[in-house]
Amino acid sequence: MQASFISNTNPPGSFPATLDVRTKLFLCVLSSLSAIILSSPLALAPLLAVSALYALSSKNIKKILIAYVVIFLMLGVSTIFIVLLRLVCPELAAMEFRNFLTPFLRIILMLNVVLGLALSSRVQSLLMALKSLRLPSLIYIPTSVMIRFIPTFLNDAKQVLQALKIRGYPLTPRTMFMHPLHSLRVLFVPLVFRALRSSDDLAMAAELKGVGLSNSIVPYRQQTLQSRDLAVSAFAVLLATASFTIQAYHGGFSMGMH
Amino acid sequence: MIRLQDASFSYPFHSEPAVKGANLTVAPGEIVLLTGPSGCGKSTMVRMINGLGLHHFRGNLSGQVTVGGRQVSELEAADISTLVGTLFQDPESQFFALDVCDEIAMGHEWRQTPPRETERRIQHVADEFGLNPILDRSILTLSEGQKQKVALASIMSLGPRALILDEPTANLDPESTEALAKTLSALKAKGVAILIVDHRLYWLRGLADKVAVMDKGQIVAQGPFELVDDASLRRRYGLRKSHVVDPRPELLPPELTNGHTISLCNLTYAHGRQEPIFSNVSMDLPMGQVIGLLGANGVGKTTLAMLLTGLNKAEKGYLVIDGQKRKPSELLNRASVILQNTDHQLHMKTVLDEIIASLPREKKPDQKRHALTLLAKYNIAHLAQRHPQSLSGGEKQRLVIACGEAKDPDVLILDEPSSGLDGANMQLIADCAREFAQRGACVLLISHDLELLGTACWCALTLPLKTTTHKEFPHDNKTAAEYHPRKDSRKSQHHDRCPGS
């Protein structure tokens, strides 16, 4: 099962698929740190270009385009609301291009690296990576359970939607608009109860398997990083350093939204 | 050895104990079957033994419960699991990892077992349970029988000398059930004490040494397996049959007796890019019959139901209904599909609302009376004001079937409706299915339950279906009029029966 749950196979020649999951997780962490610290579009540009190439090299062009369209739609909706807000209360929302550009670039940067991870990594590899990091059980247990049960949750959601179709109240944009409370009820009641039941079953299984007996686990098989992983990580660090330097010269450091 | 001496258990905030004064012994190399009607306290008994009652449910245990000579009340649940392993009804819900090898390794990793020792134990159970070919497979791609084996191997790799299995055959086809019986027989020969909680009795003939029957929290009868051959005892406690003859060889494909048929023509379907599971197959489903849909786990029975009703989209194929070529999605308006997992199908605040929401528009003026009649038919009228999600598994099962009937469909598809049901409730479902078919509907019954198939079905289709030559529309030499289902006549009969309709 792939982390994105979109497809079970990697297209031939996918570059991210050749990397270790830990490397891809490292790229995500580094990108998120960069997205928080960098505010200058000039500093974000090289990261953006390389991350776009990285995402495209997963050879899942259609899925990447869908993700971009969704992001553009979300940004479009938020822009409409800002315009409306400006009409009502001009002092609250300043319509400056820069105000939109930096958050947009940050979102796209994160989207690229997350797509690279999600479109090329299997859930089992993610679990193994988490295991080999020897994290404290307080972090490892909830994270791994969350990742492990994403496929189950998606399957539950699919079955709830099927059951709604069978019962004759399919969730369409029209029904959701006309009957929002009813729509929420029929969708979320079964999902919430199913999640509660699954978590109860899992808690019982955990007690019986001795999960949490010790603070950390002893993984029985170790993953080793390849030279390709080290080279990609080193390149990513260099690129991030270059971006920070550009920011220092041209934009100064900022942790804010702009 | 598992031993309970005058053991009682009550859940927090419950004044009445769920199990009262139980005395039971499971000796090494012995298999004991614990059975009884739904809600009699079997699961509580399991929780008393594996420590979940005390440590997870925080209940109150009195009397003596010992496993391997050690008091359960003095041990942590994780320590108890090295003495007694527990296999639940749905093994997938207790898997933590996503591949077989990691799942078996899990318990050892948390016990800080050195990697080499963990590997040795994985290899040992893989050899013992024949898991070597699937050791690197994702658990999500395994059949139910394979999942059961993986869960058993994972438990046994921790080295317990006692084993509890809770409804182990509920999701298994008869062949996988037979394989499980062989595995348990081998474990029994090695001296493992095994307690099996199950409604299905027939598969344990020759395997179980002893039977304990529970009712209302107490063990009411105990003795050799032949005890459940007593028909009056089975009737008194709503037990399943102790001897079941496999009805599948007797269940022939449905015959087209009167021409009222839904025909599925030239169906082709594959999951994603995999090999097609249906390749140009055709079949006829006559109205007015209970048709069993048979086949091993994973052969595509549920998928076929989804394709018939357009919930899954076929690559190729069409339906002929009322003499007209139709899309499968058009059948959905005239069909009720009862899926395996009842949790997904219950949305309303009360049981009564759930039924009312399923009633067709024409019944709205008298909806409450209709709903209550249906609830009474399925023995759940006393639960009318309860939240549907608070019901027990068997009660939910009956509620979703009642909802399916409330829609008054032409086609009723029941997917494993008797999973986890006791004898009395299984009989109720079988009777309702037959009655519904007699009223003119086509009832498609997907089940591995030999007892239910033998009781309810008149004929059966066995998957995989054979590829057929291309069928032209309208197929055979029948005219369009001959395909007309007896919807109108059935409706008029139904209206005659229901005062106020």
**ipTM confidence:** 0.78
Extract the tokens encoding B333.
């308006």
For residue A95, what pLDDT is reported?
64
Mean pLDDT of B244-249: 89
| Per-residue pLDDT tens digits for A140-177 | 777 777 777 777 788 888 888 888 888 877 777 888 88
Determine contact, residues A152/A198, Cβ cutoff 8 Å. Answer: yes
| Per-residue pLDDT tens digits for A173-210 | 888 888 888 888 888 888 888 888 888 888 888 778 77
Beta carbons within 8 Å of A130's beta carbon, 6+ residues apart: A140, A143, A144, A147
| Per-residue pLDDT tens digits for B271-307 | 777 788 888 888 888 888 899 998 877 788 888 888 8
Q: Report the C-alpha gap between B440 and B420 in whole angstroms.
A: 28
Q: Report the C-alpha gap between A67 and B171 in whole angstroms.
A: 38
Pick the CATH number of B248-334+409-497 from 3.20.20.80, 3.40.50.300, 3.30.930.10, 1.10.10.60: 3.40.50.300
Residues of A in contact with B107 (CB under 8 A): 209-210
Of B427, B462, B467, B433, the residue nearest B448 (C-alpha): B462
Q: Report the C-alpha gap between B208 and B14 in whole angstroms.
A: 33
Q: Tell me if chain B has a CB within 8 Å of the CB of A211.
A: yes
Q: Tell me if chain B has a CB within 8 Å of the CB of A167.
A: yes
Q: Tell me if chain B has a CB within 8 Å of the CB of A132.
A: no
Q: Tell me if chain A has a CB within 8 Å of the CB of B407.
A: yes
Among A214-218, B203-207, B234-238, B364-368, the least confident range: A214-218
For residue A6, what pLDDT is reported?
40
Residues of A in contact with B88 (CB under 8 A): 201, 204-205
How is domain B2-236 classified at the CATH fold level? Rossmann fold (3.40.50)
Classify burial at A99, counting beta carbons within 10 Å of its beta carbon; exposed 0-12, middle 13-18, buried 19 or more. middle
What's the gap in Å between the CA of B399 and the closest CA on chain A?
13
The two domains B2-236 and B248-334+409-497 share their CATH topology (first three levels equal): yes
Q: How many CB atoms lie within 10 A of CB B452?
A: 26
For residue B94, what pLDDT is reported?
78
Domain range list for chain B: 2-236, 248-334+409-497
For residue B217, what pLDDT is reported?
92
Are residues B118 and A214, on separate chains, in Cβ contact within 8 Å?
A: no
Are residues A166 and B339, on separate chains, in Cβ contact within 8 Å?
A: yes
Beta carbons within 8 Å of B230's beta carbon, 6+ residues apart: none
Which residue from A8, A214, A220 is facing B119, i.e. has the nearest CB? A220
What's the gap in Å between the CA of A45 and the closest CA on chain B?
38
| Per-residue pLDDT tens digits for A47-75 | 999 999 999 998 888 888 988 998 888 88
Question: Which of residues 335 through 374 in chain B touch A, CB cutoff 8 A?
Answer: 335-337, 339, 341, 343-348, 357-358
Mean pLDDT of B220-230: 94
Mean pLDDT of B319-332: 77
One-letter identity of residue B47 = R
| Per-residue pLDDT tens digits for B416-475 | 888 878 999 999 999 999 999 998 888 999 998 999 999 999 899 888 877 665 555 444
